């Protein structure tokens, strides 16, 4: 090959490029309108909703796998894959019948044996599932569409457990997949829901594609959260992973994506100014900010020290650090349960209300015997929420006269260090920051963080007999009034013992282009009913 040949080749390639000769054919307008491009809250790093319980996995799984029941926007479980159910008078035997015509994505019918295997795997990992499993006598398939769950004692929250949207959800998979050890990841993604997972197009960290499942049989009722008719209006949903919020904002403005699940508060004003973009609260159940104190070691092994911190903390400071000046994005939370939900209560929450009394807090801290020992405070810097809260806490503790050992680290390190029960100076800790999805704080069933059964409790290992007693009361409650009474007592007991420190309730926005319609508020992004025009 000589110089002239090379030059000719380059000129030819350049010409082709300029004239579009090498370009891919432009996607037809109709095809583009049938693809919804969505930026999720995080990377879909794995796709087993029982093995990995991150919210982003749950959100993707809710498209691909259906559930027997679905919780609607009034927090009631509604039939989904189930046609009917019966329970014996003593509440110990549940018999369920599946809807006819249900199919998996490989075309096979959904049978009772698939449900039994799926529930067996789920109940080995889910907190409510574990409770049912502890009471279980047998779980069997009666015939292809009927299965029976026999318990030793009644479990009144059975339907709620099967339909709840908290991770892990009771998703129904084919038997051969559901027989995978619940502590090992599945490798086949054959679903039962309205969208199919396109494994061949999955680039973890970059893209995940879901295609409409033509043989899905939606219910006839109106959709409501995870309940009702899940009618998919687009052919494809493409999840585009964008780690950088500024890039996602620019891509949404430029029309390169259609829907961004959770724009950060700083960028929302820019999006609101754009006439092509709609912005609204995405998840009305929001989030509960928190920091947890270690009950095992001084100073927070003494309830007086924990109360001193609660007495001094200003939830407004925390919330403004997270959401900025937008007052519609936060609420004070003198309790532990999600505002605007049926069981919300402020009973016992006086310590978190009104003007903050730093002097009284200092006095109480002194009574606890605190003598200036370092307080190891873990703060993940790679999570804007924990970073913001950590800075406020450091300031608060200093004002209280505490000696703060501020450990600025990443979320992965906090995740493993918080499990250490060794003393703070030997790899352990005194406090760490986190937050809980409001959907997990609507009642005690999915609310791991409220449990106070010492060694078995969540990190910090709180012990509060009163709290545990009222958790049990809620599970035994037979109606809403009984539930509310139990939650009121639970809230008071948990605040008295300071199971953890709630730093406030905050919401976040979601944003989509105006050619997208049908976006609804919910505890997770709901893709049924969402359509897109060219």
Partner 1 sequence: MLSYILRRIVATLPVMAIVALFVFSLLYIAPGDPAVVIAGDQASPEDVERIRQSLGLDRPFLVQFGSWVWRILHGDLGTSIFTNLPVSAMIGQRLGPTLSLMIVTLLLTIVVAVPLGVVAAWKAGSLIDRVIMGFAVFGFSLPVFVVGYMLAYVFALELEWLPVQGYTPLTQGLWPWLENLILPAIALGCVYIALVARITRAAMLEVLQQDYIRTAKAKGLGQGGILFIHALKNAAVPIVTVIGIGIALLIGGAVVTESVFAIPGLGRLTIDAILRRDYPVIQGIVLLFSFVYVLVNLMIDVTYTLVDPRIRY
Q: How far is the CB of 92 from partner 1 (least distance, A)?
A: 27
Among 86, 340, 382, 395, binds partner 1 (CB under 8 A): 382
Piece of 48-56, 209-217, 339-347, 358-366 that binds partner 1 (CB under 8 A): 48-56
Among 100, 101, 109, 243, binds partner 1 (CB under 8 A): 243
Cis, peptide link before residue 258, omega less than 30° from 0: no
Q: How far is the CB of 126 from partner 1 (least distance, A)?
A: 8
Piece of 293-301, 363-371, 434-442, 495-503 that binds partner 1 (CB under 8 A): 434-442
Q: How far is the CB of 96 from partner 1 (least distance, A)?
A: 25
Q: Give me the residue label for tokens 């892990």.
A: 168
Pair 140, 172: CB distance under 8 Å: no
Please state, in angstroms and rounded to a whole number, the distance separating the CA atoms of residues 326 and 39: 23
Residue 16 interacting with partner 1 (CB under 8 A) = yes
Q: How far is the CB of 247 from partner 1 (least distance, A)?
A: 5
CA 515 to chain centre: 28
Piece of 94-102, 143-151, 245-253, 351-359 that binds partner 1 (CB under 8 A): 245-253
Q: How far is the CB of 205 from partner 1 (least distance, A)?
A: 5
* Residue 272 three-state SS: helix
- Total residues belonging to the chain: 534
Q: Which of 411, 409, 331, 330 minimizes the C-alpha distance to 376?
A: 409
* 152-166: burial string, b at 16+ Cβ within 10 Å, e else: eebbebbbbbbbbbb
Please state, in angstroms and rounded to a whole number, the distance separating the CA atoms of residues 14 and 485: 75
* 340-353: burial string, b at 16+ Cβ within 10 Å, e else: ebebbbbbbbebbe
Q: Give me the residue label for tokens 């290992």.
A: 461
Q: Give me the residue label for tokens 């339907």.
A: 159
Residue 266 interacting with partner 1 (CB under 8 A) = no
Residue 204 interacting with partner 1 (CB under 8 A) = yes
CB atoms within 10 A of CB 171: 24
Q: How far is the CB of 328 from partner 1 (least distance, A)?
A: 27
Among 112, 123, 165, 166, binds partner 1 (CB under 8 A): 166
Residue 269 interacting with partner 1 (CB under 8 A) = no
Residue 422 interacting with partner 1 (CB under 8 A) = no
Residue 443 interacting with partner 1 (CB under 8 A) = no
Which tokens in the block code for residue 455? 């060694």
Q: Which spans of this chain sit near partner 1 (rule: CB under 8 A)? A: 13, 16-17, 20, 22-24, 43, 45-46, 48, 51-54, 125, 127, 166-167, 181, 183-185, 187, 203-207, 240-244, 246-248, 250-251, 253-254, 256, 382, 409-413, 415-417, 419, 434, 436, 440, 446, 448, 456
């Amino acid at each position: 090959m000589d110089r002239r040949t090379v030059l000719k080749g380059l000129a030819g390639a350049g010409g082709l490029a300029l004239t579009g000769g090498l370009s891919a054919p432009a996607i037809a307008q109709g095809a583009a309108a049938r693809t919804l491009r969505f930026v999720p809250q995080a990377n879909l790093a794995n796709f087993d909703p029982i093995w990995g319980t991150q919210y982003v996995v749950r959100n993707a799984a809710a498209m691909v796998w259906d559930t027997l029941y679905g919780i609607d926007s009034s927090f009631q479980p509604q039939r989904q894959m189930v046609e009917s159910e019966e329970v014996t008078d003593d509440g110990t035997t549940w018999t369920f019948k599946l809807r006819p015509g249900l199919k998996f994505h490989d075309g096979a019918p959904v049978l009772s044996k698939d449900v039994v295997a799926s529930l067996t795997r789920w109940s080995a990992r889910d907190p409510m599932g574990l409770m049912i499993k502890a009471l279980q006598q047998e779980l069997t398939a009666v015939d292809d569409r009927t299965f029976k769950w026999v318990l030793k004692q009644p479990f009144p929250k059975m339907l709620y457990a099967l339909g709840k949207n908290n991770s892990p959800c009771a998703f129904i998979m084919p038997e051969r997949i559901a027989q995978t050890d619940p502590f090992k990841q599945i490798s086949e993604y054959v679903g039962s829901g309205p969208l199919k997972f396109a494994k061949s197009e999955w680039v973890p960290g970059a893209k995940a594609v879901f295609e409409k499942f033509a043989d899905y049989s939606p219910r006839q009722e109106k959709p409501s959260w995870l309940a009702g008719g899940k009618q998919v209006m687009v052919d494809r949903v493409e999840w585009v992973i964008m780690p950088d919020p500024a890039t996602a904002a620019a891509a949404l403005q430029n029309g390169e994506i259609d829907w961004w699940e959770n724009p950060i508060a700083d960028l929302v004003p820019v999006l609101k100014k754009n006439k092509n973009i709609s912005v609204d609260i995405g998840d009305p159940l929001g989030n509960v900010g928190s920091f947890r104190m270690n009950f095992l070691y001084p100073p927070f092994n003494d309830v007086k020290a924990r109360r001193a911190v609660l007495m001094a903390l200003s939830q407004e400071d925390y919330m403004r650090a997270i959401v900025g000046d937008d007052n519609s994005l936060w609420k004070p939370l003198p309790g532990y349960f999600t505002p605007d939900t049926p069981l919300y209560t402020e009973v016992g929450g006086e310590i978190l209300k009104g003007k903050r009394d730093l002097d009284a807090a200092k006095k109480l801290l002194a009574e606890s015997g605190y003598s200036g020992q370092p307080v190891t405070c873990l703060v993940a810097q790679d999570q804007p929420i924990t970073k913001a809260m950590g800075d406020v806490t450091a300031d608060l503790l200093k004002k209280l006269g505490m000696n703060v050992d501020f450990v600025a680290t990443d979320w992965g390190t906090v995740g493993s260090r918080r499990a250490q029960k060794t003393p703070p100076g030997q790899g352990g800790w005194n406090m760490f920051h986190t937050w809980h999805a409001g959907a997990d704080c609507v009642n005690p069933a999915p609310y791991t963080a409220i449990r106070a059964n010492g060694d078995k409790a969540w990190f910090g290992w709180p012990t509060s007999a009163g709290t545990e007693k009222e958790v049990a009361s809620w599970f035994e409650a037979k109606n809403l009034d009984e539930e509310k009474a139990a939650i009121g007592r639970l809230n008071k007991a948990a605040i008295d013992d300071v199971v953890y420190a709630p730093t406030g309730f905050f919401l976040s926005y979601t944003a989509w282009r105006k050619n997208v319609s049908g976006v609804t508020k919910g505890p997770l992004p709901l893709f049924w009913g969402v359509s897109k025009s060219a």
